[in-house]
A and B are shown apart, each in its own frame.
Chain A
Amino acid sequence: MINTNKRTWFILSFLFPTFLFFTVFTIYPIARGMYISLFDWSGSSEFMTYVGFHNFVELAKDSILWKAVANDYFLVAGKVIGIVVLATFFAVAVTRFKIRGAKFYRIIFFMPNIISVVVIGVLWRFIYNPNIGILNSLLSIFTEEPVRTPWLGQAGTALWSILWPSIWAGVGFYFLLLVAAILNIPASLYEAAEMDGASEGRQFWSITVPLIWEQIKVSILHIAITTLNGSFVMVWIMTEGGPDNATQVMGSYLYQMGFKQFHMGYASAIGVMILVISLITTLVLQRLLRRDETQLS
């Protein structure tokens, strides 16, 4: 009796603070955000006017918002493909192809992850600078006229230009995740495959991919969620959503509306929409990525 009592207290002492903090710092802000989204509120006024679902009706009619949603999905798709392909490729390269200095590459690839996103944004702004940026200087080697493309300043290239640094900054983490997964695969499997005459490509598709699928799945979901919630930082530092809303994402539009144009109710409605869209995306992705689980027995 005393023992079970102790055990209950022990478990409670872990659960209760977690639950408390979760409630205060996650559930409450979300609920409050949903509540504010039903009001017309500047964000600084004493007075809030209840408007029901008016903000959501306005959202549906707002062409900039739909552009932002499209941009968000462009970044999700670009980052998922770019990061997963590159991370898998690099992970296989440093684990399976006995490359010299594999450890060195692990550090190098992880480097962008320990740099603040703000620094990355500023750094890449310099790379893209039309007049003194290294990208245009490099391109100018191959052309007669010096290249002066304002990568971040024209609608056609701006979003692509935000995608590359996002991939560059993201690869390292997922690379390490996949390296760890590949190292967990027993070498005997590969040896057996080799004896049976399976090529490297065959081994990759039939052994490596199935056995690291869980990690790939987690990576894809994680990239999708963090992009929908967090692409704001990169966008805000590099373009502030411009030129003419060409790179606006939901997060940056929320900030613009809430803190620059003083429509906090509307911004909260965008926040609710981000929540809903993230949930739907995660569910759909989980559905799509479901695959017979392959486990080492």
Chain B
Amino acid sequence: MKKTKLAAMLVACFMLLTVMGCGAKSGSETGGNATNAPTATPAQSKEPAQEGLTGEFEIQYFVGGYGDAWWLETIEQFQQANPKLNIKQSAGAVINDQMKPRWIQGDPPDVVYIDGAGSNPRQMIEDDQLLDITEWIQEAKNANSERLLDVLISQPEVYGGKVYNLPLVFGAYGNFYDQALFEKNGWKVPTDYNSFLALSEEIKASGISPYVHTGVYPEYIHGGFLFPAIISANGDNTNILVDMGEMKEGVFQSEPILKALEKLSEISSLGYIDKASSALNHTDSQMLFLQHQSAFIPNGLWLESEMKNDTPEDFKFAYIPSVTQSNGGKYVAIPYTATVAIAKKAKNVEAAKAFIEFAFTKQHSLNFAEKTGALMNVKADLESSTASDVVKGAMNFYSDGSTLVAPVVEFNPDVKTEMNNATVALTLGKITPQQWGERVEAAAAKARK
């Protein structure tokens, strides 16, 4: 009697648990929508004569600094063009975590915008999650019948000879300064490494530290100082950055990299790098920069809009891509991006391709600048847009031939971590450039296995 009752209760409990488990699963699928992003409903009012795509189509996008306004509008237009397509949006600030179980189970969305914490396109490729679009992208035309590759500012990265994702956002690292401060002190903006050294000495003498960087995230000084220096030292040949991304044997101990590291080592031993740097995260370092405790900061083109609320009124943001080129050499800009890709297990590849063709147009590019203040990776006439002056100024650098824009390179996470750690150690004078090379080369050798 007692035993049967107990057994009945056990069964009941497990059934309850199973139901709870099921509930959680279906919840996570719908929970992906951004708070203010209603799931797009098919626009039924359109004339029935329109054919377009059919079936289910799901798109996953991270909502961060760029917001979701551009996505909502673009997807709505895509919906109107394809009234019979049932579009599902999985979006939000933590969408990468929310969708992870589905990627692991092999039930991904069709299109994914790879951005934000917990996402890494390189890892997705290594996990065999993205569709190989090498052939398709060669021929693909956008909604205006222009060849897609022709309208891109930054070309897609090639991994082992194949293309898996397209850069959607275009930005670049560089060095920022306050033009008003420079004018007040009569400082001349450096055009090469030697003039940067001379100016740094002058700035230092005036009691301001010349260069503050974000020690907790060395990506910034890599993008603004080290990587441009490497390319300049490689005779303006950007292939070395690609080789670094591909972890070619010996590249991290090659001469151009050692030369660039010498420069980094030099400016830290001369005391041009703010002593505080190693302890600072991005908000700390940007705060010191805005307070004129430091003259230059290596950062990304998002800096101005990120610090909009904290910027003093008389502050005039200005940008130079690099400070490490030799006299007469070109500026070097290291781009950053966030990409879109089609899932390898996408259920509606046709719609996924159509959406990419639909989105990568001038109109959507202008709208992106309008909605986010940042640039989409499609060439468009920015003068008429609401992009910030710094962004427009940066674009002038890229288009007037004075600047070399490096290709987008996504590093292996292990190698990137080791580079970050070694760079901090180098700026603190704990290791030599040779040791930097040895450490990163060892990390690369391990990652190649």
Q: Kindly specify which of A108-116, A193-201, A253-261, A269-277 makes contact with the partner chain.
A: A253-261
Interface 0/1 of A140-154, CB less than 8 Å to B: 000000001011111
Q: Which of B397-429 contact A (CB under 8 A)?
A: 413-414, 417, 421-422, 424-425, 428
Check if B413 sits within 8 Å of A130, measured CB to CB. Answer: no
Closest to B415 in A: A261
Q: Is B70 an interface residue (CB 8 A)?
A: no
- B19 nearest CB across to chain A (Å): 14
Check if A150 sits within 8 Å of B278, measured CB to CB. Answer: yes
**10 A-B pairs with C-beta separation under 8 A:** A5-B2, A12-B9, A45-B104, A45-B129, A129-B279, A154-B279, A154-B428, A244-B422, A260-B413, A262-B413
- Residues of chain A lying within 8 A (CB to CB) of residue B216: 239-240, 242
Main secondary structure of the interface of B (DSSP, over half): helix
* Assembly CA distance A130 to B287 (angstroms): 12
Q: Is A245 an interface residue (CB 8 A)?
A: yes
* Assembly CA distance A131 to B209 (angstroms): 11
Q: Is B328 an interface residue (CB 8 A)?
A: no
- Residues of chain B lying within 8 A (CB to CB) of residue A239: 216, 279
- A207 nearest CB across to chain B (Å): 47
| Known contacts A44-B100, A243-B421; 18 further A-B pairs (Cβ under 8 A) | A20-B17, A24-B17, A42-B127, A45-B104, A45-B129, A46-B105, A46-B128, A47-B128, A131-B288, A150-B275, A153-B279, A155-B428, A239-B216, A239-B279, A244-B425, A244-B430, A262-B120, A262-B413
Selected contact of A44 from candidates B9, B127, B278, CB within 8 Å: B127
Q: Is A128 an interface residue (CB 8 A)?
A: yes
Q: Is B165 an interface residue (CB 8 A)?
A: no
Check if B278 sits within 8 Å of A16, measured CB to CB. Answer: no
* Assembly CA distance A128 to B120 (angstroms): 33
* Assembly CA distance A131 to B120 (angstroms): 34
- B443 nearest CB across to chain A (Å): 10
Q: Is B284 an interface residue (CB 8 A)?
A: yes
* Assembly CA distance A256 to B284 (angstroms): 22
Check if A44 sits within 8 Å of B124, measured CB to CB. Answer: yes
Check if A153 sits within 8 Å of B103, measured CB to CB. Answer: no
- Residues of chain A lying within 8 A (CB to CB) of residue B17: 20, 24
Interface 0/1 of A107-134, CB less than 8 Å to B: 0000000000000000001001111100
Q: Size range of the interface on B?
A: 35 or more
- Residues of chain B lying within 8 A (CB to CB) of residue A47: 127-128
* Assembly CA distance A242 to B104 (angstroms): 31
Closest to A45 in B: B127
Q: Which of B1-49 contact A (CB under 8 A)?
A: 2, 6, 9, 13, 17
Q: Is A3 an interface residue (CB 8 A)?
A: no
Q: Which of B199-225 contact A (CB under 8 A)?
A: 215-216
Q: Is A184 an interface residue (CB 8 A)?
A: no
Q: Which of B252-289 contact A (CB under 8 A)?
A: 274-281, 284, 287-288
Selected contact of A245 from candidates B103, B105, B124, B421, CB within 8 Å: B421
- Residues of chain A lying within 8 A (CB to CB) of residue B106: 46
Check if A130 sits within 8 Å of B276, measured CB to CB. Answer: yes
Check if B277 sits within 8 Å of A150, measured CB to CB. Answer: yes
Q: Is A188 an interface residue (CB 8 A)?
A: no
What residues make up the interface of B, taking CB atoms closer than 8 Å to A?
Answer: 2, 6, 9, 13, 17, 100, 103-106, 118, 120, 123-124, 126-129, 215-216, 274-281, 284, 287-288, 291, 293, 413-414, 417, 421-422, 424-425, 428, 430
Check if A44 sits within 8 Å of B103, measured CB to CB. Answer: yes
Q: Is A8 an interface residue (CB 8 A)?
A: yes
- B290 nearest CB across to chain A (Å): 12
- A124 nearest CB across to chain B (Å): 12
- Residues of chain A lying within 8 A (CB to CB) of residue B215: 150, 153, 242-243
- B306 nearest CB across to chain A (Å): 18
* Assembly CA distance A2 to B275 (angstroms): 78
Interface 0/1 of A149-165, CB less than 8 Å to B: 01111110000000000
Interface core residue of A44, A132, A239, A260 (most chain B CB under 10 Å): A44
- Residues of chain A lying within 8 A (CB to CB) of residue B422: 244
- Residues of chain A lying within 8 A (CB to CB) of residue B293: 131
Check if A16 sits within 8 Å of B9, measured CB to CB. Answer: yes
- B54 nearest CB across to chain A (Å): 28
- B97 nearest CB across to chain A (Å): 10
- Residues of chain B lying within 8 A (CB to CB) of residue A150: 215, 275-280
- Residues of chain A lying within 8 A (CB to CB) of residue B278: 150, 153-154, 242-243
Closest to B1 in A: A5
- B30 nearest CB across to chain A (Å): 21
- B433 nearest CB across to chain A (Å): 15
Check if A243 sits within 8 Å of B424, measured CB to CB. Answer: yes
